[in-house]
Every structure is written in C-alpha cells, then in structure tokens.
A and B are shown apart, each in its own frame.
Chain A
C-alpha cells in the first residue's frame, strides 16, 4: 500500500464506542452473577442490552457517515499490556468495516435474542443461556472493534469461550459435551496460529496496532509476510471452519438452535473472513499467500457442498452449507482487490439468510418434538405456513435466484474467480460454479423433503403447530432482509468499504465474459434445483439407504474425521502412552528416589528435635562455637 493508514480520534457520539461492548458485557455479568434471582426477567434484559447496542451502533454508523474525509474513530481507553518494548493499548476502532460488522452482530443478534425468548421458554437454564449469549455478543463486538491484534485476540478467545459454553449448553448430554470439547480443541489449533502470528508481528514490526503493522508491511521480507499470512490464515480457518479445521463446526449444532443461528452461522464463524479482510494489506502484499487463501476457500466450498448433499440432519445440512458459503467468502478475500468487498457483502447476506434458515429449522424442530431428520419431515407447508414462506425466501436467496440477496453476493464472486490470470481462472472459476450448482441441489433437497411431498412423520406427531409470534416475527424480519439486502448492499457497500479495503479495480477482463458467467451460474443453479426437485418431490425412504461410493464418503464427511483420527488422534494417544510409560519408569523413579531420600533424612533429623531443653541448649552451644570458630578461622586466614 502506498498510502499510509491513519486513524482519526473518536469525537462526539463516537467517543462512546466502549459502550457498545460494555452494555452486553454488563448484562452478561448481571445475569450470571445474580443467579436464580434474575430468572423471571433475565431474558428481557438480555434482549434489551443487545437492542440497546444496536441502536447505539446504528447512530454511530450514521454519525460516521457524516464525517468528512477520514471516516474512522479510534479510542484508547487505557494501557493494557506494558512490558519492556511491548506496549498494547486497550484501544477501539470504529471504521467502515467494523461499522458494518457492528450492525450485523447487533442487528441480527437482537432478532435472534428475541427469537430465543420463545425458543428457550421451557428450558430451566434460560437465564444462563442469555448470560452466555450476551457474553458472546460483547466478545464478538470487542473482536471487530479492537484497534490492534491483541484486542482482536482478546475478543477472539472470548467468542471461543462463549461458543464452547453454548455448544455444551445442555451439558448433561454426552454428545453436547463432546462437541463443545471438540470445537474448543480444534479452535486451539487455529488460535495458536493466530497467537504466533501476533508474536511474529511484535518481533518484526514492534507493534500490534493495525495502522503500524499495515504501514510496515512494505518493509518486511516477502518470506516474513508469507509466514505471517499463513499463521493468520490458520487462525481464520480454525474459527471459520475451513479446511483443514472444518470438522468441529457441524458438531457444534449440538447447541440450542439460536446459538447455531447467531454464532455458528451469522457472526462468529465469519470472524476468519473479518480477520483476512482487516489484514488485507498483508494478504495483498504476497501473491502466493492469496493463492493459498483461494485454494483453501475453493476446496472447502466444494467439500461443504458434497457433504451437505448427503446429510439427513436438518441442522447439519445447514452447517455444512455454512462451511461451504464461508468457502465462497474465503475465495473472495483471497482474490483480493475488489473481491474483498464482495466477500463482505456475501458475509452480510449470508448472515441474514442463514440465520433465517437456522431459526426456521428451529421453528420446525419446535413443532416436530425436536426431530432433526429430514427423512421424517415432509408436507409441513400446510401446518407451518410462516416458517415455510420465510424458509423459502432463505432457500431462494442462498441458491442465488435473482433478485434475492444471494444472487447479488455470490454471482460476483464467481465472476471474480474467472478474472484471475491463466489456468487458475478456470480452476477456481469452475469450482465456484460447480459449488453454485451443488448448493442449489442440496438446499432444494432440504427444502422439498422438509416442507413438501408426503408426510413421513414419526408416530407420536399428529398435528404440528406453527411457532408463536415471538419466534415468527424475527423470521419475517430476517426473511425481508434475506430478500432485499442483497441489491441494497451490492450498490453501496463497495464504495463504503473502499477506504479500508482499497478501491475497486477497474473493469477486468476474465477468460469468460460477464454475461456468459451470469447465464452459466443461473443455469447451473436451475439445473441443480430442478434435479433435486425431480428426485425428492415424492419424498424419500424413512431410513438411510445403502449408497454408492461417493455418497457413502460424503456421509462420512469425506473421511476427514477418519483421517484426523488416524493421523492425529491415534499417534497422539500412542505418544501419550509412551510418555506416561517414560514418566512412570524414568522420571518418577528418579523423583520418587529423591523424595524417599528427603523423607528419610527428614525422619532422621526429626529425632534430633527431642523436646528436651538441655539438648536444645547443647545444639545452640555447638552452633555458637561453630559460628565463632568460623569467624575466627576467617580472621586467622586473613592474618596469614
């Protein structure tokens, strides 16, 4: 970057940035500390605090728009870490990029909080749930509002903690407890990468502030930038469920559905995209790095589609779909240039339609006695018209039917992929295009099996009911967002984000014309959707049927879990056993021997403590003689 990055001081309304984080944090503290005393009204406090943050965030966003020139607001609250040369402020930054994230987190967050009031109504742990939920919102806001990488890491770990607590929210279920642990452990791998990346920044740049790091990227060697970028990418891949750290995200669906919607679809899992977009000066500076990011994105988006097409659990299909859609975003941020903004637009649009569909899935489960197997749904359109309609909007949006939001956000990414140079244009372009077709296929399968075709319900269900208004109102609002947000954002967001992400590149000419790509992508979408419609409009078997090699592989998550088990888990277990053996025989032997020696000498010395004053006096006298003797010996030596 030729221009240097500079942030303006926060003034006026913007000097209250810290309130955005503090309000939900205070609410979380109240809910978790007051305990049962807050059971009756706690959930409303939870909703109100996020809504208050939204209102505040919106007014800040508007006043940021009103600023002339440098549209940024930086605020340093206090010295956070001061050790030697390392100086980290507890500093916040409200700029166009963090602004849109604040609106997404608090806006969609408010709706999902509201929905959760209804969804969690019969759960005895509702107050605890809202406490964790508020904690998540506070940590996520800190993540996007920090003005340096340490603050980002602080929020990053905070959302990890909240995610762990919420995945294992029903901790009495072994599967939920295991899923929480799995998410935590896999995230550690990514977090370690991010942490080492931050260490590297401090070692090479001497600071972790965004502006200082970005302004010094030009001075770093290309190898350093590559290593730094790969470490950041590892962190991003861990948090966002990208290859090779994708396995935790589908298991995270063990948490309550609002959690899946807010944390594991709309906001937290997109933190990796935020990290790369925020660090765009680093990633833009190295082409190999960009190639790696695009490859990870493309590979993950195809994996997600293929696995999603073979799953029967409604939330897991949506989860793999999330993995795949974030793959699109990674492709976007990997392409660089104008595609950064496209990735952010897709992120925002995805936040709406995926939250919408998760909440819709929750609504279906609510009516169907917590059934999650789409083979046991069918024909729900008649019983749940609002859920059907809103889910339908989300479905059309994600597969990219114009004029819904997915079309405006995904299609440009496919087009950008074709704009690369040489054979990579074909490789990534075709992958993105194939992904669009597969997405249409598995989402249509999900939609048709759930809401259309014959009833395949379990015996205990007679008349599924529509969810109460407190759950359907957020659904309707999110559906409106899914439908309309795309065209709105595609027209204003790139310009808005230009100061952070760089100007949009001029008309690039790819290997295919733009119109061709548009026609192609709509064609594959319709093809995939039509194929699924044909295959599943008459329902499907109530149980999983034997299938060919590809479907079996997809059902087993393309053997990635088996791979992890064989390559990491098993050797890890053997290593642990070997270490335990070594520890028992070698180290413990030495330590125990030493301990026995000390214990034995202690026991012998103890006998000298006879309790008789005469022997005490004797030992004092001996000591005195020794001390005086030692002094005199030294003095005699002095004379000699």
Chain B
C-alpha cells in the first residue's frame, strides 16, 4: 500500500461553497434546537447573511485561477462569474422565499408530511406558519449549484448534481396551497430527475472507459488523441449531455418543466428558473468547452438540432397556454434554446454572451414570478390567464412592471432581453451557426404573441368580477421586484460593465 497523500486544498477558492454548506448544516441544527416560533427569523437572516458572505468570498477570490483538491474543482473566470451570479440570483430568490406578509405563514406548508385533506391538514392550513426548513434546503441547493459550475471531474459534477437536485425535489412539495399538485410535481421531478441522473452516470462510466479518467482535462487529452474507441466517446458524450440537458429543460428532456413549474411553490419556481438554469448551463459550458472541444464538428449539429427543437417547442406551446406559470415555463424552455445557441457558438464570445444571458434572464424571470406571487384571491395565487384580464385598471403599477418584464422576454430594445439575445445571436453567427440564429429569430417572433396577448389582456380588457386584486408586497418581495426590474432595465440601457466583466471572465482553465 502506498502512502495516502492528502491533496492540496486552496481554501480561499473553496470558501464560498464552504460558507454555504456550513451555514446549511448550522441551519439544520437550529431546526433541531430552537423553539418553532423563533426559527423563521433566525433561519432567514442566517440564509441571507451566509449568501452575502459567500458573495463577498467570491469577490475576494476574483483573481484566483486554479485547480484544487486533486483536480476535483476548478476555480477560474467562468466559475467565479457564475458563482457570483448564482449567489446574487439566490439572494433575490431568498427574498421571495422569505416573504410572509402576502399570506399568513408564508408560501410554504408547516408540515409537508401530513396527509392532504385530513383533519390535521385542515388545522395547519389555517394559520400555522410555514416550516423554516426551506432555508437550509435552499442553501444546500445553492451550494450544490456553486459546486456544479466549478466541478472539474465528472464524478464531482455528478455529486454536485445530486446535492443541488435533492433539496429542490423536496422544496417542490412544500406549497401551502394546492398541496396535491405540489406533491405530484415533486414526485414527477424526482422520478424523472433520477432517471436523467442515471443517464448521466452511465455516460460518465462510458467516458471513463474511453478516456481512462474522469477529470475533464484527461477527457480532453483522450479526445484529441485519435486511436481510441469512438463509440464509447460518442455514446458517453450523448448520455452525459442528456443528464445536463434535462436540468436545463431542453427538448425533448423538458417534459417535466411545465408540470413542476406550475405545481411548485412560486418562490421555488423562481429559484429553479433563475438559478438551476445558471448551474446547468455552467456545467454544460464547462464540459463542452473544456473536454469535448476537439469533436465540436460532431456534436454541434446534434445539439443544434436540440436547440432548434427546444426553441420551437417552447414558442409553439407557449401560444396556447392558459396558466401564467405554465406560460412562463414554456418561455423558460424557449430561453434555454436561445442559451444553447450561445453555447454552440463555441468561441470566447459564445461563452461570454451565454453568461450575460444567464444573468439577464435570471433577474427578469425572478421579477416575473415575483409578480405572479402578488396576483391572488382568497384561494391563493390566481394563475389562470383569464383572471389577469383588466389587471392594468386595478393595479397599473404592477401591470406596468409585468408588461416591462414581458417586453424584456420578447427582446424589445432598452431591456436586457434585447441585449442578451443580440449578444448570443451575434456570437453564434461569428461561430458559423447562422442557421440556429434564423430559428432563434423566427421563434422570438412566435413568442412575442403569447407575451403580448397577456399585455393586451391586462390593459385592454375590462376588469371582470373574478379579476383578483393585487396584494401589496411586503418589504422582501418589493426588494426582490425592484432588483429584478432595475437589473432588467439597467442591463438593457447600460450593458457595457457586465459585458466587460463577462469578457474578462470568459476563459476556462484546463
């Protein structure tokens, strides 16, 4: 037996993840130790503070470019940028999750395990405050995402994938209202997620067989040396990609998205739409750019086909949706297609513009779901589209903000939606993927229809008997909304600072 050598560990580079995982563990202890009524405030502050601390740690680590813990984690420009983005978006999501003034006890159920419809359930539906375990779960998920975008070998990536997924499965089941729908969503997400993880893991096995290692740089070296089994390489690449495409909600692996987005508590939907997307694309970018760049000519057409299919499915299906959350889910699927167009540019601009897009879209989608939480009646959120008719008369401010966000989704200039689409399409044309851009523009036109239909409904219809009122948001939701809307506007009007930042960060270490 050789001597067990401990790998070098750069704690500074790992600090953001350590902070989040540490805080999550402390949160679990608090759950066990403190009386129920005091937990919520403490947990919320702990979650917010640790996220801010992790963000500070990312900023302090901004010049680090290293591969550490025996090659398991790479901290480089894209890692730090995406971690910063994840923490910022996570912070805003936490504000939405922590909101308790819209509904007595918040958007989360007190005890998710109680059978729906039982006597106990009726009692807790009244006014028992939601379970604060959602905060440590969020921190675990966020920590997993930070690791996911930093993972430098396929096994670490798999572990991170599970770390980020398991808390999300749980949190999907925590809705206070419509609990059956919520539990169904969680179960579907769990089953299909495990299924996708299995694909990923099988792919990892095949690639190990091909390359003799799981580190991304080893795979890269194997890809560029010709005399190895190409079947193992391509089958492995396909299966690994499928696992990531599932998380990123790309067709035909998007089927879970509308059901889960609709059933999950809206703040969690916001978290998934913003942060999970960043994490999934971060990992996809790293794998494709670092390991498989040598076979770009082979995977570009296949993934290009997936991008086209995704954009078409998202845009066409968005046209007939009648539920606001499902509409936003299909919009998010189509946006995943646009992001994949940026990824497939496979040049430095493609990397930079995809990262820009992730941040811009994240803020807009957080604001959109933030507004969805406000439009409610006695049964909770009123998400059916017909209920939003005439909202402009009842609450011009929020209808105006929502209109602005929809215009951003549609890619109208002076919003971040325009700058980010422009950036990814520009990069794709430079990367020789003009055909993807043509589909991108066509589907953008299609998508404008469902967005504008909502705008027309809100402003040009008379408010009916059933038009719900818009609740006055508490401080947390107001802050989240303001951040989302201001970022959407700012990135549309003065995008230069963030574009410079993404350009500086757009360099992987291998």
A635: chain B residues within 8 A (beta carbon): 230-231, 233-234, 298
Q: Does B255 contact A (CB under 8 A)?
A: yes
B253 to A623, Cβ gap below 8 A? Answer: yes
In the complex, the chain A residue whose C-beta lies closest to that of B259 is A611
A598: chain B residues within 8 A (beta carbon): 316, 319, 446
Pick from A602, A611, A639: contact of B230, CB below 8 A. A639
B317 to A602, Cβ gap below 8 A? Answer: yes
A628 to B230, Cβ gap below 8 A? Answer: no
Q: Does B449 contact A (CB under 8 A)?
A: yes
Q: Does A77 contact B (CB under 8 A)?
A: no
Most interface-central of B196, B255, B259 (chain A CB within 10 A): B255
In the complex, the chain A residue whose C-beta lies closest to that of B303 is A627
> In the complex, what distance in Å separates the CA atom of A253 from the CA atom of B409?
46
Most interface-central of A606, A631, A634 (chain B CB within 10 A): A631
> In the complex, what distance in Å separates the CA atom of A413 from the CA atom of B273?
74
User: A599-640 vs B: 1/0 string, CB under 8 Å?
Assistant: 101110110010101001101101110111011101100110
User: B246-271 vs A: 1/0 string, CB under 8 Å?
Assistant: 10000111011011000000000000
> In the complex, what distance in Å separates the CA atom of A394 from the CA atom of B299?
85
Pick from A595, A605, A617, A638: contact of B195, CB below 8 A. A617
> In the complex, what distance in Å separates the CA atom of A619 from the CA atom of B242?
13
A634 to B234, Cβ gap below 8 A? Answer: yes
In the complex, the chain A residue whose C-beta lies closest to that of B446 is A598
A606 to B320, Cβ gap below 8 A? Answer: yes
A605: chain B residues within 8 A (beta carbon): 313, 316-317
B238 to A628, Cβ gap below 8 A? Answer: yes
> In the complex, what distance in Å separates the CA atom of A59 from the CA atom of B311?
65
B252 to A623, Cβ gap below 8 A? Answer: yes
A627 to B238, Cβ gap below 8 A? Answer: yes
Interface residues in B146-160 by Cβ distance below 8 A to A read none
A602: chain B residues within 8 A (beta carbon): 316-320
* Contact flag A624-B298 (CB < 8 Å), given A602-B320, A605-B316: no
* Contact flag A634-B191 (CB < 8 Å), given A595-B449, A602-B320: no
* Contact flag A620-B234 (CB < 8 Å), given A601-B316, A605-B313: no
A627 to B298, Cβ gap below 8 A? Answer: no
Q: Does B188 contact A (CB under 8 A)?
A: yes
A630: chain B residues within 8 A (beta carbon): 238, 302, 305
B320: chain A residues within 8 A (beta carbon): 599, 602-603, 606
What is the minimal beta-carbon distance from A628 to any residue of chain B, in angstroms? 4
A634 to B192, Cβ gap below 8 A? Answer: no
What is the minimal beta-carbon distance from B44 to any residue of chain A, in angstroms? 34
A628 to B298, Cβ gap below 8 A? Answer: no
A-B contact count (CB 8 A): 88
What is the minimal beta-carbon distance from A223 to any residue of chain B, in angstroms? 37
> In the complex, what distance in Å separates the CA atom of A603 from the CA atom of B230?
41
A631: chain B residues within 8 A (beta carbon): 234-235, 237-238, 298-299, 302
In the complex, the chain A residue whose C-beta lies closest to that of B251 is A623
User: A322-364 vs B: 1/0 string, CB under 8 Å?
Assistant: 0000000000000000000000000000000000000000000
Q: Does B239 contact A (CB under 8 A)?
A: yes
B195 to A620, Cβ gap below 8 A? Answer: yes
* Contact flag A599-B319 (CB < 8 Å), given A609-B255, A611-B259: yes
Say which size band chain A's interface belongs to. 20 to 34
User: A575-615 vs B: 1/0 string, CB under 8 Å?
Assistant: 00000000000000000000100110111011001010100
* Contact flag A617-B238 (CB < 8 Å), given A595-B449, A606-B320, A609-B255: no
What is the minimal beta-carbon distance from B327 to any residue of chain A, in angstroms? 12
> In the complex, what distance in Å separates the CA atom of A605 from the CA atom of B446?
15
What is the number of residues of chain B that contact chain A, defined by CB distance less than 8 Å?
39
In the complex, the chain B residue whose C-beta lies closest to that of A639 is B230
B192 to A628, Cβ gap below 8 A? Answer: no
B239 to A628, Cβ gap below 8 A? Answer: yes
* Contact flag A609-B241 (CB < 8 Å), given A599-B319, A617-B191, A631-B299: no
Q: Does B306 contact A (CB under 8 A)?
A: yes
> In the complex, what distance in Å separates the CA atom of A470 from the CA atom of B412?
51
What is the minimal beta-carbon distance from B419 to any residue of chain A, in angstroms? 16
In the complex, the chain B residue whose C-beta lies closest to that of A622 is B252
User: B289-300 vs A: 1/0 string, CB under 8 Å?
Assistant: 000000000110
B369: chain A residues within 8 A (beta carbon): none
Q: Does B361 contact A (CB under 8 A)?
A: no
A616 to B242, Cβ gap below 8 A? Answer: no
A609 to B301, Cβ gap below 8 A? Answer: no
A639: chain B residues within 8 A (beta carbon): 230
> In the complex, what distance in Å separates the CA atom of A606 from the CA atom of B327?
12
A599: chain B residues within 8 A (beta carbon): 319-320
A611: chain B residues within 8 A (beta carbon): 259
> In the complex, what distance in Å separates the CA atom of A595 from the CA atom of B318?
13
> In the complex, what distance in Å separates the CA atom of A631 from the CA atom of B256?
24
B258: chain A residues within 8 A (beta carbon): 609
A620 to B237, Cβ gap below 8 A? Answer: no
> In the complex, what distance in Å separates the CA atom of A611 from the CA atom of B199?
22
What is the minimal beta-carbon distance from B78 to any residue of chain A, in angstroms? 25
What is the minimal beta-carbon distance from B359 to any residue of chain A, in angstroms? 25
> In the complex, what distance in Å separates the CA atom of A630 from the CA atom of B301?
9
> In the complex, what distance in Å separates the CA atom of A522 from the CA atom of B255?
92
Interface residues in B205-259 by Cβ distance below 8 A to A read 230-231, 233-235, 237-239, 241-242, 246, 251-253, 255-256, 258-259
User: B115-132 vs A: 1/0 string, CB under 8 Å?
Assistant: 000000000000000000
7 A-B pairs with the lowest CB-CB distances in the bound complex, closest first: A623-B252, A631-B234, A616-B255, A602-B320, A628-B238, A602-B319, A631-B238
Write the residues of chain B forming the contact surface with A, with a CB cutoff of 8 angstroms: 187-188, 191-192, 195-196, 199, 230-231, 233-235, 237-239, 241-242, 246, 251-253, 255-256, 258-259, 298-299, 301-302, 305-306, 313, 316-320, 446, 449
Write the residues of chain A forming the contact surface with B, with a CB cutoff of 8 angstroms: 595, 598-599, 601-603, 605-606, 609, 611, 613, 616-617, 619-620, 622-624, 626-628, 630-632, 634-635, 638-639
**10 further contact pairs, Cβ within 8 A, besides A613-B192, A631-B238:** A598-B316, A602-B318, A602-B320, A613-B188, A616-B192, A616-B255, A620-B253, A628-B235, A632-B231, A635-B234
Selected A-B contacts with CB under 8 Å, 16 pairs: A602-B320, A603-B320, A613-B187, A617-B195, A620-B195, A620-B255, A623-B242, A624-B239, A627-B302, A630-B238, A630-B302, A631-B302, A632-B231, A632-B235, A638-B298, A639-B230
